[in-house]
Each structure stands twice: as structure tokens, then as C-alpha cells.
Structure 1
């Protein structure tokens, strides 16, 4: 793996798939400001690589992420603390706007901030044993890095209120039923299944994937008429590409397409 920045995040390059790791396994990948800055750098790096068609977000070691580092959170409430309140929202926005689809692999634990870290990902694969929930109301605050905004868009307002206001863990099977996660798998298989999920995405045309993700991300931000116009605009940009021609020619010739991102 290739370490990023201060070494608290890493990228493992696997052909057209890039695996981004939280790399602080001795602390259950609890997030600190340096780790979050490394995540931003990692996602900016894979976003800029035209050979990458899909990305996974994983935790090095047995746990995805324990959330925010508790010592850091304790220190930030001190009266004279210098607080970087923008870095975590920047992480989430960077993941959300990464051109390639992102698959999160949620194993063992993803509470509070770690839960919010998975929300801007495009797909979520979770282990049956995972502790997954927004606990902030039990800590004197509430999830405010997108938890109250992204979550309702995924599961609806009523379910989002249940998850946020009770502060309880969400059963993985229930999470799948409400559309919060896309697949529940056995313990010990999360990372491999997330990678396989991403590999399946890599079989598709990379330019089509990127334009489709961009259109989908905009869907809830625009009136329908403007969204339809934006969708067509993005599609028209693909009309003269080599991959668009290749896709139809391969289907007519009954063979697998060879996409190049061109």
C-alpha cells in the first residue's frame, strides 16, 4: 500500500480499482485531524487518476472506524482549544464529489462520526456484527457533519429521525431493509465483498459511470425540469466518445466491451 500524507491513510492500487484505507489500526482507525487530512489527499489522488473506475473505503485491521478520536474530542471542548471545524465536512464533501463510485466496507464498528463518514459513499457493504449508528445525542450534541441532511435523503425523514433522536445502533438487516446499506455479509468477508462490488462496477464504462454519478448526485438538488436538462447535457457529452461506440458495437457483436475511458 502507498501511504498518504502523514501515513494515517493509504491507497492500494488494484488495476482499475483503488482501495483507500484508514490506516490507524492500533486505535481502531479513530479519526484525528491528520487522518482526515490524509483522507482528503487520498480521495483527491484517486479522483485525479483517469485509470481508476471505482474506489473502496476500508479500515486497516479488524475495525472499519471507531469514530472520532475521543481524546481529540475531549480536548476540543476546552475553552482555549483551537478547533478545525471544517476538516471533517471537507472529508465528506471530497468523498461525495469523487468522480468514481465509492463503496464503503463497514466491519465491526462505525459509530457516530464513522457512520457519517459512510453516508457520502455511493454504496455500503456491512458485516452482520457491525455496530452502526449515530450516538451523538447520548453525548450532549447531535450529528452535524451531514447526519441530519444526508441521512433523510437515503432513508426518508421518519427513519432518519428514529436513528438520530434515539441514538441507538441500527441492526444491519434493518439498515438493508430501509435502503441505508446495500448488502449485509458475514463477519470477516466485508472488505473482500466491498472490493468485489467495486470490481463489478469497474466492468462498466468509466465515463458513463462518472456522468451518471454526477447526474444522480444532482437529482435532489434541482427541480425536475432543470434536472432533466442537466441529465441530457451530461449524456450528450458522451456522444462522440470512443467508449460509447464500443459499447454498442460490442453488444451487436455479442462480445465483452473493452472500455478505455476515451
Structure 2
């Protein structure tokens, strides 16, 4: 594994998959400023690596993350601190912009800020016993790290209001029904299931994955006509690639394609 920055985030390369870990298990991966900056640097690094086709976001130890470091949040000097204005938003935007699809493995705990951390990911694997919810209204605030904006786009406005304004944990089966997570499994199997799903993505053409993700991310932000033109432009970028030809040649020959990101 490769440590990043102060060593509170790590990257483990496994062929075409990169596993990015929150690496503060002695604090249940609670997110300090240093951890968030290291995690941002880790995602910048895998985004720039053309040999990485899919990414997982995992927690070292028994949980994904206990959320924000509570002592850090209590003791910060200014309410409008760099945590709110810079560090946490930058991390979430970096995950969202990552070229490759990102699969979050949510085992045992991901409350509050850790819940928001999973929202920019493209897929979420959730443990059946995980404590997963936005609790900020029970702490005198509300989720303002992107939760009020990203969650309605995933589950609809009414359901997002229920999750955010009750401050209650989301039942895993309900999270699956509403489309918030795509797979449920035992908590001790979460990391391996997330890795397996990322490996499944790695079987596909990486240029198609990247451009397809860009087009999908634009869908809810762009008027239809503009979105369709953006989609066509991204498609045209791939028409003269080796992977495009390889995909059709392999299908016509009834064999598995050998994509190369060219």
C-alpha cells in the first residue's frame, strides 16, 4: 500500500482497481483535517493514473468512518472555518470529479459527515447492520457538506427531507429500496463486495466508463438539449479509438474484449 501525505489515507493497487482507504482506525477513521487532505490527495492521484479503471473507498479497520472528528468540530475557532469552506467541500468535489467510477464500502458506521462522504461516490455497498444516516439536526446544526444538495438528487426531495430533518439512521433495507445503495451484504463482507463490484466495472472499456460517467453526472444539471449535445460530443471522442474497434471486433468474433485505454 502507498501512504499519502501524513499517512491517514492509503492507496492499494490491485491490477486495474485502486482501493483508497481512510487509515485512522484507532479513531474509527474519524475525519480530521489531515485525513481529509490526505484523502483528497489520494483521489487526485488515482484520477491521474491511466492504469486505474475503477476505485473503491474503504475504511481500514471495523468501520468506514465514525464521521467528523467531534473534538475538532467542537473546538474549531471560527464557525465558518476552512473545514466548511475548503477542506471538506474540496474532498467531496474531488471524489465527484474522479474520472473513474467510485464504489463506497459502508461497513458498520458512516454517520453524518461520513454519510456525506459517500454521496459523491457512484455506487454504495452497505452492511446490513451499518449505522448510516445524517444526524446533524441532533447536534444543533444540519448537514451542510453537500447533503442537502446531493441527497435529493439520489432519493428525491421528500425522502431527503425525511432523512435529514428526522436525524434518524436509515434502515439498510429502506436504503436499498430507495436506490440510495445498490447492494446490501453482511458487514464483514462489505469491503470484498465493493472490490468485486469495482472489478466487474474494470472488465468494461475504461474510456467508455469515464465518458459515460461524465454524461450521467451532467444529466441532472443540464437542460435536455444541451445534455444531449454533450452526450454526443463525448461519444464522438471515442469513435476513432482502439477500444471502440476492439469492442465491436470482440463481439463479432464472440470473444472477450481486451481493452487498452487507447
> Could you say which TM-score interval applies, normalised by the shorter chain?
over 0.9
Determine the structure 1 residue equivalent to 2:163. Answer: 163
Alignment of 1:211-230 (within 5 A): 211-230=211-230
CA distance in 1 between partners of 2:200 and 2:170 (Å): 27
Q: Which runs of 5+ in 1 are unaligned?
A: none
Find out whether 1:7 has 2:4 as its counterpart: no
| Contact 1:75/1:81 (8 A) holds in 2 | no
1:142 aligns with 2:142: yes
Distance 1:12 1:106 in 2: 18
Q: 1:24-47: CA deviations, max 9, x gaps? A: 000000000000000110000000
Write the deviation string for residues 75-109 of structure 1: whole angstroms up to 9, x where unpaired. Answer: 11x46996443100000000000000000000000
SS at 2:39's partner residue? helix
Query: Hey, what's the Cα distance between the residues in 2 that align with 1:35 and 1:71?
Result: 14
**Separation in 2 of the partners of 1:217 and 1:187?**
29
Task: Provide the C-alpha distance between the structure 1 equivalents of 2:147 and 2:113, rounded to a whole number of angstroms.
Answer: 9
CA separation in 2, counterparts of 1:18 and 1:84?
26
Q: Structure 1 pair 223/80, CA: closer, same or farther in 2 (3 Å)? A: closer
Aligned pairs for 1:231-250 (under 5 A) are 231-250=231-250
**Which residue of structure 1 aligns with residue 42 of structure 2?**
42
Are the equivalent residues in 2 in contact too, given 1:107–1:126 (CA < 8 A)? yes
The CA distance in 2 between the partners of 1:186 and 1:177, in whole Å, is 17
Which residue matches 2:202? Answer: 202
Q: Structure 1 pair 81/201, CA: closer, same or farther in 2 (3 Å)?
A: closer
Contact residue 103 and residue 194 of structure 1 kept, 8 A? yes
Instruction: Supply the distance in 1 between the matched residues of 2:82 and 2:225 (Cα, whole angstroms).
Output: 42
Query: Which residue pairs with 1:23 in the alignment?
Result: 23
How far apart are the structure 1 equivalents of 2:50 and 2:10?
A: 19
In 2, are the aligned partners of 1:118 and 1:124 still within 8 Å (CA)?
Answer: yes
**TM-score when scaled to structure 1?**
0.98
Distance 2:183 2:133 in 1: 16
Could you tell me how far apart the structure 2 residues matched to 1:21 and 1:83 are?
23
| Contact 1:125–1:185 (8 Å) recurs in 2 | yes
Kindly report which structure 2 residues correspond to 1:184-203, keeping only aligned pairs within 5 A, or say none.
Answer: 184-203=184-203
CA distance 1:79–1:12, change in 2 (3 Å): closer
Distance 2:149 2:129 in 1: 26
Structure 2 residues without counterparts, runs of 5 or longer: none
Shift of 1:187: 2.2
TM, length-normalised to structure 2 = 0.98
Alpha-carbon RMSD across the aligned residues, in angstroms, is 1.1
Change (3 A) 1:83 1:234: closer
Q: Distance in 1 between matches of 2:171 and 2:83?
A: 32
Mapped partners of 1:118, 1:38: distance in 2: 16
Instruction: Give how far 1:186 is off.
Output: 1.1
Alignment of structure 1 residues 65-104 onto 2, 5 Å: 65-76=65-76, 78=77, 83-85=82-84, 86-104=86-104
In the alignment, what sits opposite 1:114? Answer: 114
